[in-house]
């Protein structure tokens, strides 16, 4: 074995470590929670749910065709939703597009009380008591928000609260493109 090769052999652990460290450094600026939804650019799942406000009223996927709309999953027990809520209320005032709530694993009484207390940005809320529709949409924590186009195709998904920056930098430009 040549001496050069021999000393390289002893350096090998060091090289491997620096390669790993490089990836770790890069990893610090990546968000492991940012997960692309398999639903993006796929038709939104079928659903048929009662409205939160009026159990007699049923809403299904077809009712929303022809419009660009936001589906926002929320719950009265969700703290992050409370943080997000003013942003949605403000956005609803501009009435750019309808926002539909998906009241996820909640009770009617709590949900209604929550809307009365913090304001209601939704044209209506779907009452998903058992969370079945949430599962079809791949919701694993509330809040989550989906942007759905006129053909009923999911174009964008946000896990966690919608922030004003996100709204202005991503969602609004997308809405303009989809409405064009």
Q: Binding to other proteins by residue 14, rule CB under 8 A?
A: yes
Alpha-carbon distance of 146 to 139, in angstroms, equals: 10
- 20-28, 40-48, 63-71, 111-119 -> range binding other proteins (CB under 8 A): 20-28
If binding is defined by CB under 8 A, does position 5 make contact with other proteins? no
Strand 144-148 versus strand 154-159 pairing type:
antiparallel
CA 51 – CA 57 distance, rounded (Å): 6
**Site for other proteins contains 1 (CB under 8 A):** no
Using the contact rule CB under 8 A, the part of the chain among 18-26, 44-52, 89-97, 113-121 near other proteins is 18-26
Q: Is residue 4 part of the contact set for other proteins (CB under 8 A)?
A: no
Q: Which parts of 80-138 are beta strand (E)?
A: 99-104, 124-128
Binding residues among 33-52 for other proteins as defined by CB under 8 A:
33-36
Of 5, 10, 94, 95, which lies in the binding site for other proteins, with binding defined by CB under 8 A? 10
Strands 144-148 and 124-128 come out as unpaired
Build a one-symbol-per-residue string for 125-144: x at contacts with other proteins by CB under 8 A, - elsewhere: -----x--------------
Binding marks (x or -) toward other proteins, 68..87, rule CB under 8 A?
Answer: ---------x-x--------
Could you say whether residue 116 binds other proteins (CB under 8 A)?
Answer: no
* Residue 7 binds other proteins (CB under 8 A): yes
Give whichever of 55 and 66 is closer to other proteins, judged by the CB atom. 55
DSSP-assigned states of every residue in 5-74: HHHHHHHHHHHHHHHHHHHHHHHHTS-TT----TTTTSBPPP-EEEBSS-TT-EEEGGGGTTS-EEEEEE
> Which residue reads 């303009």 in tokens?
176
Measured CA to CA, the distance from residue 75 to residue 175 in angstroms comes to 25
What is the distance between the alpha carbons of residues 101 and 178, in angstroms, rounded to a whole number? 21
Residues that bind other proteins (CB under 8 A): 6-7, 10-11, 13-14, 17-18, 20-21, 23-30, 32-36, 77, 79, 130
């Amino acid at each position: 074995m040549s001496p050069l090769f021999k000393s390289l052999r002893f350096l090998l652990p060091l090289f491997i470590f620096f390669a790993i460290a490089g990836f770790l450094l890069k990893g610090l600026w990546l968000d492991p929670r940012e997960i692309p939804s398999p639903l993006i650019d796929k038709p939104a799942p079928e659903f048929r749910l009662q409205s939160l406000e009026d159990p007699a009223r049923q809403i299904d996927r077809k009712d929303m065709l022809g419009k660009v709309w936001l589906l926002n999953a929320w719950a009265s027990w969700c703290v992050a939703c409370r943080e997000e809520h003013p942003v949605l209320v403000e956005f609803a005032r501009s009435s750019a597009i309808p926002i539909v709530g998906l009241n996820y694993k909640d009770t009617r009484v709590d949900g209604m009380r929550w809307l009365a207390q913090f304001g209601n940005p939704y044209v209506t809320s779907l009452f998903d008591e058992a969370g079945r529709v949430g599962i079809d949409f791949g919701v694993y924590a509330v809040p989550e928000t989906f942007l759905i186009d006129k053909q009923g195709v999911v174009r964008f998904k946000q896990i966690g609260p919608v922030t004003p920056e996100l709204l202005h930098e991503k969602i609004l430009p997308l809405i303009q493109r989809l409405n064009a």
